[in-house]
Structure 1
Amino acid sequence: MRITIPLYKKIELTAAQLIVFIYTLAIAISSSLLSLPWAKQPGVEMNFVDLLFTTVSAITVTGLTVANTAETFTPFGTTIIAMLLQIGGVGVMTLWTFIWLIFGKKIGLGYRQLIMIDQNRDQLTGLVKVIQLVFGFAIAIELLGVLFFTSIFYFRGYYPELSQAFYHGFFHSISAYTNGGFDIFGNSLQSFYQDYLVQTGTIVLIILGAIGFPVLIEGWSYAVAKKNKEKFRFSLYTKVTLLTFVILLVIGTIGIFFMEHQGYIKDAPWHEKLFFSLFNSVTARSGGLSTMDVSQMFVPTLLFLSVLMFIGASPSSVGGGIRTTTFATVILTIRTYARGRKNVHVFGRRLDEADILKSFVVFTFGVLLIVTSILIIDFLEMHQHSLVSVIFEVTSAFGTCGLSTGITPDLTNISKFILMGLMFIGRIGILAFLVSMSVDHGHANIKYPVEKIIIG
């Protein structure tokens, strides 16, 4: 069903197009706020492109930066960035709908369509309840994070004043849960390289943000059902999501451990190697926070992390990329075809053909987008940066991750605009982006004769 939403009674936009417009408007307003004199430290100047880049990176919860956040922005500026991370994390329509509900307003069909697109869902029923749970989970988890990190920063002596500990704990909790990748420590989490408690708390928040709101909601429903001694069955989506997420997490940890075993962590004790590998496996999915200088990793490790960033987080989460279920569906389909079968089965269920088609569309478009961006940026930069650094930067932007080898500030303005486009597409999702670009020519109901072609 195609629903158009009137804009100022003169322009009609589809739900997907209006979502793009809303995010674009939010970026424009936020850029204006960050350009205010009291948002930046005294004596600090930022050109328009760098200011816009920072805003896009924040609202798409990516974390790629062209300047040190702590040295560039005042507490007012960092609070604006934290708000942008919150908006980008839960979604513009989620925040707007929650405010709408507080004032007792009804959510019409048009707004439900917007929520469905923004949350990457495929049905309109139950969306208001979903929004309430999504916002509730976000606030509850972040508040626990603020309490946890404030206590650690204060009692472990990182910040002698409670106000400083709270300020850093507040920002870090939001950045970690929304997988924003921004930090006000000045060097990401490199100062906490051996503080496993800070790392563990960060890992938990990143996973809770990246696993996806539907999984959290089903987990909550399961707990309620168990308490009431009722039967509960997890959906196929949650099963596939959790299994894929765990497999990628384990493969990532093992892969990084062995690739860097004779590299960056060569002389480190076993527990330091383990946390190094685990943390980087988690943060590469969309977190963007790092405990070391990424540029010091081996080339194979950087390429391996690029693959993880390309896959990204789960659907309806704070992360980007092609998403875990897309990757799982592609792999399952290839396995099915290799076995000479037609139907893709998993957990005793058959995958819908429309979902399989969507997965290959997302995967193929994602690959084309990444390859094209790499070629253009590498050409524009005139080989001033290594190809692996460009690949890493591009996949980090698309996966809304934020990890970087440090080349972001030195890129040309055109390259920065390309990265902004990748971050934007990564946040709203490839399907939503493609739908927003489509034009209805009225041929949807026409069926042409079928004729086979040679494939492969």
Structure 2
Amino acid sequence: MALSHLPSRFQYQTHHPRRCRVLRRIEIFALIIAVIALVILHGLLKITTIVHWELGGTIVLAMLYFGFSLSLRYFWYISKKEFIKRNLIYLLISGFWLLTSLAILIFHNLIPNQLELILDVSEFCIILRSLYETIILIRRVSSRGWNPALIVAASFLILIAIGTTLLMFPSARVQDLTDKDSETAPFLVALFTSTSASCVTGLTIVPTGSYWSRTGHTIIMFLFQIGGLGILTFGAFFAAAFGRTMQIRESVTFSEMLESHQRGDVRRLVLAILGITIFTELTGAFFLSGLWPELPWGDRIYHSLFHSISGYCNAGFSLMDDNLLNMGHHWQVWGVMPILIIIGGLGFAVNYNFMLYGITHFSNFSVRKPLFNHPTQKVRLTISSRLVFITTIFLLAGGTIGIYLLESIHMQKEVSSGELLNSAWFQSVSFRTAGFNTVDLGELQPQSKLFAVLLMFIGASPGSTGGGVKTVVFALALLSVWSLLKGRDRVEIMGRTIPSALINRSLTIISLGILVLMSSTLLVVLFENRQDIFLNHLFETTSAFATVGVSTGITADLTTPSHWVIIFTMFIGRVGPLTALIALTNRGPSYRYSYPEESVNLG
């Protein structure tokens, strides 16, 4: 049977399949128009009252059409229960809008500005519906069988493009009240900030706190929240949360994005990711609230939530123009913030494995589906989790000691040992992926900057919110060297043999990482023509590649070509050089033969 003659999605389910398809397409078109109207309504500062209500009327009319379309399709549907099951979210959104709007109209004498309130409810429902449609689109794309690496790369490009567009609206930046015209952020500033936030880097060419408005801050916060978890995670979360069956192709795509080899466990993993994320970020925000006692409660809550999300997502964005400079003595900075950074940098699969291990070994709590499937079986720590844990402890301890000793040499300022140790601890955590700083990094000793470059290049762990070549890759490279020195032809650890394909992949990632880093540094040095600060240029490009976000203070002073290099480097660093390369190439056919071996000279 030809594909064109196969039954459509609506056939055998409704009496009028063609009409249902037309209504559905008009729904999508109306939603796009409503979203555009919503963005213009809140993005432009100075619009006339007539334009305001024209845009608002467009949004309300879109909601009216959604209700009309749902009613017709329900009337035409053969199985009413099946229709409700398939369109439950649409029905809930439209039902909420209708009941709320009717209540406002009925009690209009008790409610001032009822038309504005109806518009606010309509805008809220449009946002919910657009998010739901986006999730559906993500699931459809993921189930098409396309190259997972290409989907991951494309998702970040789309997020960057949306963020750039939103940040270019006048309402996103602080306006000069004496200026009659609204100022928009320049394209390069918006693109750089959007890329940095989407790729959870933290590098900026304008001060985040004073340049962007509260709207701009919120856009940036959503960008690094979505960028940290990944757009595809939200599509997978919807499928898991509402009991939908994930297709095999979807599981493969999400496994690629989350860097998890347990494809059958993706559904529970995604639910755990969202649960751990929400709990960690809210807990972190609660403890961080004491950092700004002078602020009103509303601003205090916002600052706490912004920095908690930024810490967990390893974004490095701060609402203070000097980051966390001179705040290292607060226990929230040296205690709470590193915990957020470390949890976010361990990796989603590792956090999930540790959580299951703790529940099944140290608790009598009965674990039920769908989040877990180990009610009685004790979960063991995987080799990956053990490698991540050991390598992370080694890097944290070694980083703290290394920075402390290196900064103790030729120290220009009189700093107590306690303050120096405190700063060394915080920066050893932050250098690997987060991007916060409690000291002026431009004043670091040259040897400390080189050591920081190494920590940044290694980065966080696989499947985490951080960047770099990843801790497991670094550990496997060291184990490979150790096995070679021992005369072994394979890598063995903890009673397990690591597949040679993973060793080759690790060495490839390191090689590509060095290639990207050296190329970016070469271009920046060439464009800047400042050989006297070469180390700062290397520091900057490494920070961009590893999506760390720390800077010696030269980001804003770089030339435009260098800014473009940093933007490209941040994107490659977040996606991963190997993933980016796979996305740009097609896999060749597999052959069932091999040529005779012949040795070559290595040196």
If the length of structure 2 is used for normalisation, what is the TM-score?
0.71
Q: Residues 143, 385 of structure 1: CA spacing in aligned structure 2 closer, same or farther, 3 A cutoff?
A: farther
Whole-angstrom CA distance in 2 between matches of 1:68 and 1:385: 26
Q: Does 1:92 align with 2:227?
A: no
Q: Which residue of 2 aligns with 1:121?
A: 260
Residue correspondences, number? 447
Task: Give the C-alpha shift of residue 339 in structure 1.
Answer: 2.0
Of 372, 381, 391, the match for 1:234: 381
Q: Which residue of 1 aligns with 2:291?
A: 153
Task: Give the C-alpha shift of residue 80 in structure 1.
Answer: 0.9
Residue 29 of structure 1 aligns with an amino acid whose one-letter code is I
Whole-angstrom CA distance in 1 between matches of 2:535 and 2:451: 11
Q: Does 1:188 align with 2:353?
A: no
Task: Give the C-alpha shift of residue 430 in structure 1.
Answer: 2.7
User: Which deviates more from structure 2 when the two are superposed, residues 161-170 or residues 115-124?
Assistant: 115-124
Q: Which residue of 2 aligns with 1:273?
A: 420
Q: Which residue of 2 aligns with 1:15?
A: 148
Task: Give the C-alpha shift of residue 449 in structure 1.
Answer: 3.2
CA root-mean-square deviation: 2.2
Contact kept, 8 Å, 1:260 with 1:266, in 2: the verdict is: no
Whole-angstrom CA distance in 1 between matches of 2:517 and 2:469: 11
Matches within 5 A, 1:30-41: 30-41=163-174
Whole-angstrom CA distance in 2 between matches of 1:63 and 1:47: 18
Task: Give the C-alpha shift of residue 12 in structure 1.
Answer: 8.2
Deviations 1:3-33 (A, max 9, x none): xx99699x98412112211211111111111
Contact kept, 8 Å, 2:315 with 2:434, in 1: the verdict is: yes
Contact kept, 8 Å, 2:327 with 2:438, in 1: the verdict is: yes
Q: Which residue of 1 aligns with 2:403?
A: 256
Deviations 1:61-114 (A, max 9, x none): 000101100111111111111111111111111122223444554322232222
Deviations 1:294-321 (A, max 9, x none): 0010111111101100010000101101
Matches within 5 A, 1:27-106: 27-43=160-176, 45-106=184-245
Q: Residues 296, 45 of structure 1: CA spacing in aligned structure 2 closer, same or farther, 3 A cutoff?
A: farther
Contact kept, 8 Å, 1:6 with 1:13, in 2: the verdict is: no
Whole-angstrom CA distance in 2 between matches of 1:329 and 1:235: 15
Task: Give the C-alpha shift of residue 443 in structure 1.
Answer: 5.0
Whole-angstrom CA distance in 1 between matches of 2:140 and 2:281: 36
Task: Give the C-alpha shift of residue 230 in structure 1.
Answer: 5.9
Deviations 1:393-442 (A, max 9, x none): 01101111000011111222222222122211221223322211222343
User: Which deviates more from structure 2 when the two are superposed, residues 403-412 or residues 432-441?
Assistant: 432-441
Percent identity, aligned pairs only? 32
Whole-angstrom CA distance in 2 between matches of 1:123 and 1:232: 14
Contact kept, 8 Å, 2:221 with 2:310, in 1: the verdict is: yes
Q: Which residue of 2 aligns with 1:366?
A: 513
Matches within 5 A, 1:239-318: 239-262=386-409, 266-318=413-465
User: Which deviates more from structure 2 when the two are superposed, residues 161-170 or residues 224-233?
Assistant: 224-233
Q: Which residue of 2 aligns with 1:350?
A: 497
Task: Give the C-alpha shift of residue 269 in structure 1.
Answer: 2.1
Task: Give the C-alpha shift of residue 355 in structure 1.
Answer: 0.8
Whole-angstrom CA distance in 2 between matches of 1:135 and 1:232: 21
User: Which deviates more from structure 2 when the two are superposed, residues 348-357 or residues 39-48?
Assistant: 39-48
Asked which structure has the greater RCO (Cα within 8 Å, sep 6+), the reply is 1
Q: Secondary structure at 2:263's aligned position in 1?
A: coil
Q: Secondary structure at 1:267's aligned position in 2?
A: coil
Contact kept, 8 Å, 1:330 with 1:356, in 2: the verdict is: yes
Contact kept, 8 Å, 2:260 with 2:349, in 1: the verdict is: no
Q: Which residue of 1 aligns with 2:312?
A: 177
Whole-angstrom CA distance in 2 between matches of 1:398 and 1:211: 19
Task: Give the C-alpha shift of residue 273 in structure 1.
Answer: 1.4
Gaps of 5+ in 2: 1-138, 177-182, 365-375
Q: Which residue of 2 aligns with 1:135?
A: 274
Whole-angstrom CA distance in 2 between matches of 1:7 and 1:307: 38
Gaps of 5+ in 1: none
Whole-angstrom CA distance in 2 between matches of 1:184 and 1:265: 29
Whole-angstrom CA distance in 2 between matches of 1:70 and 1:203: 22
Whole-angstrom CA distance in 1 between matches of 2:404 and 2:483: 31
Contact kept, 8 Å, 1:264 with 1:296, in 2: the verdict is: no
Whole-angstrom CA distance in 2 between matches of 1:38 and 1:323: 38
Task: Give the C-alpha shift of residue 120 in structure 1.
Answer: 1.7
Q: Residues 211, 8 of structure 1: CA spacing in aligned structure 2 closer, same or farther, 3 A cutoff?
A: closer
Whole-angstrom CA distance in 2 between matches of 1:411 and 1:305: 21
Whole-angstrom CA distance in 1 between matches of 2:510 and 2:491: 17
Higher-Rg member (1/2): 2
Residue 320 of structure 2 aligns with an amino acid whose one-letter code is F
Task: Give the C-alpha shift of residue 266 in structure 1.
Answer: 4.9
Q: Residues 8, 387 of structure 1: CA spacing in aligned structure 2 closer, same or farther, 3 A cutoff?
A: closer
Residue 165 of structure 2 aligns with an amino acid whose one-letter code is S
Task: Give the C-alpha shift of residue 238 in structure 1.
Answer: 0.9
Q: Secondary structure at 1:318's aligned position in 2?
A: coil
Matches within 5 A, 1:284-433: 284-383=431-530, 386-433=533-580
